[in-house]
Structure 1
Amino acid sequence: MLPIVLGLDIRCIKFCKRSMRKVVVNAGLNNDFHKHHYFFYLSQLYMWVDTAALGKLLSLYPPSLSSFTGAFMANWLRSHFYLLVALYAATIFISNDAFLPAIPIMSDDLDVADGQALMAVTVFVFGSISVQFIVGPLSDAFGRKAIMLGGGLVFMLATWVCGLSDNIAMLLSARFCAGATMSCIFAGGFAAINEYYGDDNAVRALSLSANVTMLAPMLGPVIGAFILQFHTWHYIFFYDALLMAAVLVLLVLYMPETNLRLLQGRETRLNLRSVFSPLLVVARNRRLMISSAAFGLSGAVFMMWITGSTIMLMKNLGLSAADYAVWQIPVFVCLLFSNNLAPKLSRKVGLDRYVARVFWLVGLAAIPFAIASLFETSLLGVMLPMCMFAFVKGLQNAPFNQYVLRLEKVYKGTAASLYSFVNGIFGVLGALSASLLAEHSNASYQALMAVLVASSMIVGWYALRINKSDAS
């Protein structure tokens, strides 16, 4: 079948339509034109979607529907790359929970105590905040995409080494390296989302990414327990490394670069000054630092729950492991529900007004903790204050991330990294506090939670006051 070739200027649709009709009539295909008419417009749409085809020649029989679908999906993924960032984050976060059901088996295999095996969690968290000051400037110098790909490659290799570990030192070293890549999510992925989308769309994208990461504490142990039904604990790490390899391929293909300096062709040569100069600039931004501290204080409360809920529910209230898992669900359901509600509310009210109002709710969330700490706590006395706080925390997450990053106009990668570091410090303090209170009653936990939540409101309002005065 001889193709009839037509030169196509994609901006002249009407002219192309008339030309196509003439060609078809001259070829004696007038009776069947309606069949080819569909394919003609399909080719027009394909050419609009696939910009790489601009200016090429169009034959009578254009690309197939499958080719058009592939081009459409590719462009859809590029414009929704935040889904890939969410998958990237989920792969890293799940790795910190998936192996927890295997701790007793790992302890036997590595000939260590359970407490030493649990150090794999501690070094992962420590690793996550250890390179925050470096990753942010690297993201500003070399681009968001490069830092995501580099971090993902390190995570994949380190997680694979975890699966190969035959001693505790090898496991802990690899876990530290894997944890260090967590900063790439904030300095690379979240910074790219902030730059690529407007305020409202960025809040929605960050909210979805937060949803995925918040599911990790629930999904991780389930996935790990499922793998243990068929394989040894080593395969938990192997499968996680393979998942990251798949994510890296998608990032290479579909993640855009959003760093304006690179897009404008500016010099990106790195030296020590270029690493630490942006850090010093951002660290002097008192609005960003105080706002980060306010958010970190509320994050410390949630980390206290994640770390100390085992003591609060199982040891102090006598719940079984199964009951403990069930009673985690209401907390995360409240968190996820409000996290999805937050973008709609912030868009309706306005980001600045929304953040101010949420800090009022944060302060109110301290009251149930304070009341519960005065009495002999029951299961309801533990769960009700925590569920209320989880709901408020979900309202705070994505909009406040967007609000804080908006306070830095130039070095957004460094700002995201420093913001994450401050939150990580408070998270470590929250986990440490929960560990130190392991021999105390639930009232002690809830009294400290009330103090932290109230402090978050006070520091938050002080930050808003500074932001308002500086803006004026």
Structure 2
Amino acid sequence: MQPTPKTLNRSTLMFPLALVLFEFAVYMGNDLIQPAMLAITQEFSVSATWAPSSMSFYLLGGASVAWLLGPLSDRLGRRRVLLAGVLFFALCCLLILLTQNIQQFLAMRFLQGIGLTVISAVGYAAIQESFAERDAIKVMALMANISLLAPLLGPVLGAFLIDYVSWHWGFVAIAMLAGLSWFGLNSQMPRQQQSVSRQPFIYLLDDFKRVYRNPQFLGLSLALPLVNMPLMLWIALSPVMLVEELKLSSFAYGLSQFPVFMGLIVGNMLLIRIIDRFALGRTIFIGVPIMLGGAFCLLAAVFLPHYALALLLIGMTLISFGEGICFSVMYRFALMSSDVSKGTVAAAVSMLLMLSFFVVIEAVRWLYTQVHLIAFSGSCLLLLGLWFTFPRKILKSLMQQRQQSGSF
């Protein structure tokens, strides 16, 4: 039985708020720790170029089990899989305290990254099934705003960890947040879910083939990493660019993140306010060109080194603002582009996202050691430019179909 979509009100918000507490914990697992990576690499006596690998292995862990967790939640229920995933993430945050070298540390980061899939392949699927179309997008945008406290607070708290205590306590705090979210989800998450036929897992490959052979799914899903990747590269590389290259203090580095992520928050707030006034998807055609303008500012920083910091922050603020007004809509379109069970579709989206993040971050990390800032700026410009090819064509086709069918 298909669950009846809920409308957005104070009562129905309790489940998303419990979920976003876990999402906040998972993001803090990156945003709080990434600024401390320079100190961690020193503690393990390895080069600072290992710092971005903490994030890329975190993302790779997220991609590694998406193929399993999404379909598993179709069969066992979103609730059961989500609650188990939250506990696993909290345990891994505590186990990382026992690591003795960078290899063990990255292995635990890989396992912690599974929390990303628990959110994207299980939690987000439950949100999309629980709410009507525009309300689901509003909930996703609202959740994004709350979870963005992580990249806003993370760099400052990470700097505090480096200067006054130890990075170990960051993981203890993250584990405690995950534990609190478990109690909230156990109390507030709906038990009802969409019924799906419990086919043997041998049919998983057929389901994923159906999803990935769908041109509309591919176009809409490929748009997600293209649009989200510049901000992910910024999170991964900004400690090296701003602290190592531009010689900012740890505290100044933390403060520099505020305009970037405030841009994302403002973009999400604007999306919530205007989404009922435009045809769904229209904000994407507004947001991505703004992001492209931001990428040109990043490129200008290469040629105007005296203004590099200002141009980087202006460019990234434009990019994050543009992402805020379009990403939640993109995700909804991608998830609904296939009629395969939503846990499987969400898993397919998650795998594509996380694998793209891992490959591109590691590639740009290597390029950065060779050509420095131009590697970051050029990669952001290229990624956003690619959106104007196949993904834009598929989105225009979808918008025409929705207009013809009367779905606005």
Structure 1 range deviating more: 405-414 or 80-89: 405-414
Match of 1:123 among 48, 52, 57: 57
Equivalent residue number for residue 187 of structure 1: 121
- Percent sequence identity over aligned pairs: 26
Q: Higher relative CO (CA 8 A, sep ≥ 6), structure 1 or 2? A: 2
**1: CA distance, partners of 2:333 / 2:135:** 13
* Contact 1:156/1:242 (8 A) holds in 2: yes
**Aligned CA distance change for structure 1 residues 257 and 409 (closer, same or farther; 3 Å):** farther
Match of 1:457 among 388, 395, 401: 388
Q: Are 2:347 and 1:398 aligned?
A: no
**Aligned CA distance change for structure 1 residues 388 and 122 (closer, same or farther; 3 Å):** closer
Equivalent residue number for residue 81 of structure 1: 15
Q: Which amino acid in structure 1 is aligned with residue 144 of structure 2?
A: A
**Aligned CA distance change for structure 1 residues 432 and 356 (closer, same or farther; 3 Å):** same
Equivalent residue number for residue 376 of structure 2: 445
Question: Which digits, 9 at most, give the CA deviation of each residue in 1:178-224, with x for residues without a partner?
Answer: 11221010111111111111122111110122223333223234445
Structure 1 range deviating more: 371-380 or 302-311: 371-380
**1: CA distance, partners of 2:44 / 2:297:** 44
Equivalent residue number for residue 197 of structure 1: 131
**2: CA distance, partners of 1:336 / 1:175:** 27
**Aligned CA distance change for structure 1 residues 373 and 101 (closer, same or farther; 3 Å):** closer
**Which is greater in Rg?**
1
Equivalent residue number for residue 76 of structure 2: 142
**2: CA distance, partners of 1:109 / 1:383:** 30
**2: CA distance, partners of 1:201 / 1:184:** 22
How much is the aligned-residue C-alpha RMSD, in angstroms? Answer: 3.1
**1: CA distance, partners of 2:250 / 2:281:** 42
In structure 1, list runs of 5 or more residues that go unmatched.
Answer: 1-74
Measured after TM superposition, the shift of residue 325 of structure 1 is 2.6
Q: Are 2:108 and 1:178 aligned?
A: no
Match of 1:419 among 324, 349, 357: 349
* Contact 1:191/1:413 (8 A) holds in 2: yes
**1: CA distance, partners of 2:36 / 2:223:** 36
Instruction: Number of aligned residue pairs: give it.
Output: 393
Residues 363-378 of structure 1 aligned to structure 2 (within 5 Å)? 363-369=292-298, 376=305, 378=307
TM-score by length of 2: 0.84
Match of 2:263 among 334, 345, 370: 334
**2: CA distance, partners of 1:446 / 1:104:** 22
TM-score by length of 1: 0.74
Measured after TM superposition, the shift of residue 415 of structure 1 is 1.6
In structure 2, list runs of 5 or more residues that go unmatched.
Answer: 1-8
Match of 2:211 among 282, 287, 293: 282
**Aligned CA distance change for structure 1 residues 107 and 297 (closer, same or farther; 3 Å):** closer
Residues 49-448 of structure 1 aligned to structure 2 (within 5 Å)? 79-100=13-34, 102-103=36-37, 106=40, 119-224=53-158, 232-261=166-195, 268=198, 271-369=200-298, 376=305, 378=307, 379-435=309-365, 436-448=367-379
* Contact 2:15/2:188 (8 A) holds in 1: yes
**Aligned CA distance change for structure 1 residues 164 and 142 (closer, same or farther; 3 Å):** same
* Contact 1:294/1:457 (8 A) holds in 2: no
Question: Which digits, 9 at most, give the CA deviation of each residue in 1:67-115, with x for residues without a partner?
Answer: xxxxxxxx95555311111111111111223334554665576566655
